[in-house]
């Protein structure tokens, strides 16, 4: 479950919220002035997020290296064509 709280409520109930995350695997979205600014998630989920980010960064780097010599206009046109083909399927 995802709970949204403002920063003051979070600060006042930190111990309870840590228990929610640790024992119930809940996530807490902390808002400031009505906007989300942070999230409290269990350590296992955070580790998965970090691994996914690392894999994404590595794949992005490999793609950038593979297409380093392709002019931006040509690459953008090829992407636009691929998207158009998929939308017509």
Main-chain phi, psi angles of 86, to 5 degrees: -65, -35
Beta pairing, strands 27-32 & 2-6: parallel
- The predicted-structure confidence for 23-42, as pLDDT tens digits, reads as follows 999 999 999 999 999 999 99
Nearest 10 degrees: CA dihedral of 63, 61, 74, 79? 60
Tokens at residue 51, please? 């691994």
- The predicted-structure confidence for 52-76, as pLDDT tens digits, reads as follows 999 999 999 999 999 889 888 988 9
């Amino acid at each position: 479950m995802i709970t949204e709280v403002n920063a003051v409520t979070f600060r006042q109930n930190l111990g309870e919220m840590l228990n929610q995350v640790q024992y119930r695997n809940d996530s807490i979205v902390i808002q400031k002035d009505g906007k989300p600014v942070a999230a409290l998630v269990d350590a296992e989920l955070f580790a998965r997020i970090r691994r996914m980010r690392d894999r994404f960064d590595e794949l992005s780097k490999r793609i950038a290296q593979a297409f380093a010599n392709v002019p931006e206009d040509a690459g953008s046109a090829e992407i636009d064509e691929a998207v158009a083909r998929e939308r017509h399927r």
